[in-house]
Amino acid sequence: MIPEYLNNRLNTIKKHHPELAKTHPHALRHTFATLAKEGGATMEDISKALTHSDEKTTRLYVDEPNVVDLSAQKKFAIRLDQERNAN
């Protein structure tokens, strides 16, 4: 993807939604890495997707303290649905 295209898209979004926090394309790479890890991707897979030659670099991208075990979230969602359906 051409960097100018993404920057232009982000600027357009910012114009239409000034209430959103400012972000940069590079920050989206960090978000992708963290969400991919949450989704169960391996560091090797994430590293390849980000075209890193060293997984140590990828580990800097993954915000480990904010990685949530999605299995716990899924169990909570199922339980919440059960309660909603019971009422």
* Chain CA centroid to CA 72, Å: 18
Tokens matching residue 16? 């239409």
Residue 11 lies in a domain: no
The total number of structural domains in the chain stands at 1
Is residue 3 assigned to a domain? Answer: no
The overall pTM is greater than 0.75: no
10 within some domain: no
CB neighbourhood size of 18 (10 A): 8
Please report where in the chains the tokens 């969602």 appear, as a residue.
77
Q: Using one digit for the tens of pLDDT, what is the confidence trace for 30-56?
A: 889 988 988 889 999 999 999 999 999
Closest CA to 11 of 1, 25, 29: 25
**Helix, strand, coil tally for the chain in percent (to 5):** 70, 0, 30
Kindly state whether residue 44 falls inside one of the protein's structural domains. yes
Quick check: 16 pLDDT over 70? yes
Residue type, 24: H
Q: What is the pLDDT of residue 25?
A: 82
Q: Is residue 70 part of a domain?
A: yes
Residue 2 forms part of a structural domain: no
In a domain, residue 5? The reply is no
Q: Is residue 4 part of a domain?
A: no
Q: Is the pLDDT of residue 71 over 90?
A: no
Domain interval for residue 74: 24-86
pLDDT at 20: 87
Residue 68 banded pLDDT, cuts 50, 70, 90 = low
